[in-house]
Structure 1
């Protein structure tokens, strides 16, 4: 049911695999949503649901109270926010810009500083939960920014996610997401090796999952992506190429902090090998293909 008391005019940039579902959930929650994407075709299905297309980032910025971005890479974030035709130069004073892309913590801090200079509030709020979480509105949302700004837009975030936590000042959301990606990177290697091991031992991997998913080995990746591996379904909930980008950011941050991350380095090398074999647009669980040749 739509909430007629909602007043925010939402602008949304980036209607890809995740973004489309996030916009649908915002519309279902009663928000008016304008969208911009590099290719209009990727947003077509949203127009029938009530979303409105705008032709430029600047136009979207000028007419929105809250602007959400869900793009691909840090370079895309920088272009959308800091380009002369981007959000920071054109957003209204008092508006809130929420970057939900997994991006650089340093860039998040830079955007916050430039936004503050123009009386624009910003949050870095990357997510976890993949395409399933985006569709179901159950994304984990990790937020960096000022507490008062966080609370002012929390209802907007609640339309897209369930576990929504303010982690600290600008950049804290991105640092938290890097912790998430470090965990997933090493964990995915383990999931792939476990299923391949079960098959090599002559076991039914589906039955093995039934035994181990509910025990100490249990994880989201094991329960949700393990069955996809077994079924040979490698459609992306999250792209290999984007995961490699995340791991590069995490490694750079770890090196800056002097932190040893051998598990992350191994996972990154395996994913780069997978991408080199033509799988960069597959889902991250396609790592399993390296084990079953």
Structure 2
């Protein structure tokens, strides 16, 4: 792909905003849509164009990215009255970066193919930090030809970009990622809660445990936020609960029992009931210390 390709980006939340900034910095022409225009104002000030609907954002674009909240949102922005499939031109590539259902990814792929459009599912990992630094891990499912075409654009905001195979496989890979995070986060929070109750200097504890066998991305990147009382969202609890539900549902279809993620979902649901749904996933610590 050349820099002259026109891009639409639908869903400029915490991570989408940083991704669009990278695309603008690389001199791509980007049109954005999000439900609340004010939330996209920073990007508009940086040179992004604004559209009032997903369909209008999509018109005459070569690549259309989406990064929204829930599978129902994905279906709406693609298949709704003012959705992408109402306006996407033949030969365009649509790329859903939402963590969503593998079955929905396959449905969108089929609809797109009928319209002469390529469809990729490309969920990411790395949180707000990875999005800001342009180091996201991107897991891509769909046709290899479309992946090869769009790889230079992925490289503007990702550093670990892996083609996972047929449509839906990107989402299945993301479920593997979320399963690891779900159970690891319990360990991180229980370790920190234990250290606090024991009266330890947690900064020194982190020095000792973060680089050994117990080390993890969550411990190194979210552990310090927990110690500073920073529960701002890099990834919302309400969205993480959605991801865990998808993983549990998919596992049940494969006759696989996952007790670890079921426990994690139960703990996060408790926090959701307490009003912490807009906090980041590191707020699980509040289950232990509030």
- Superposed, which structure 2 residues align to 1:6-45 within 5 Å? 6-45=3-42
Asked if the contact 1:57/1:87 (under 8 Å) is kept, the reply is: yes
- Superposed, which structure 2 residues align to 1:38-117 within 5 Å? 38-117=35-114
User: Tell me, what secondary structure is at the counterpart of 1:278?
Assistant: coil
**Is 1:259 aligned to 2:256, yes or no?**
yes
1:178 corresponds to: 175
In the TM superposition, residue 165 of structure 1 has moved relative to its aligned partner by: 0.3
In the TM superposition, residue 84 of structure 1 has moved relative to its aligned partner by: 3.2
- Superposed, which structure 2 residues align to 1:122-271 within 5 Å? 122-271=119-268
Q: Which runs of 5 or more structure 2 residues have no equivalent in the other structure? A: none
Deviates more, 1:5-14 or 1:120-129: 5-14
User: Tell me, what secondary structure is at the counterpart of 1:12?
Assistant: strand
Asked if the contact 2:55/2:85 (under 8 Å) is kept, the reply is: no
Distance 2:58 2:228 in 1: 43
Distance 1:257 1:33 in 2: 40
Deviations 1:119-169 (A, max 9, x none): 000000000000001111111000000101000001111111110001010
Asked if the contact 1:96/1:121 (under 8 Å) is kept, the reply is: yes
User: Tell me, what secondary structure is at the counterpart of 2:99?
Assistant: coil
**Is 1:282 aligned to 2:290, yes or no?**
no
Deviations 1:176-224 (A, max 9, x none): 0000000000000000000111111221111111111100000000000
Q: Which runs of 5 or more structure 1 residues have no equivalent in the other structure? A: none
User: Could you say what the CA RMSD is over the residues aligned between the two structures, in angstroms?
Assistant: 1.0
Distance 1:125 1:106 in 2: 14
Distance 2:39 2:23 in 1: 17
Runs of 4+ in 1 over 2 A off after TM superposition: none
Distance 1:285 1:291 in 2: 12
Deviations 1:47-83 (A, max 9, x none): 1211000122111111210000010000000000111
Distance 1:30 1:162 in 2: 19
After TM superposition, the score normalised by the length of structure 2 is 0.98
In the TM superposition, residue 85 of structure 1 has moved relative to its aligned partner by: 2.2
Distance 1:123 1:132 in 2: 24
User: Tell me, what secondary structure is at the counterpart of 2:275?
Assistant: helix
How many aligned positions are there?
290
After TM superposition, the score normalised by the length of structure 1 is 0.97
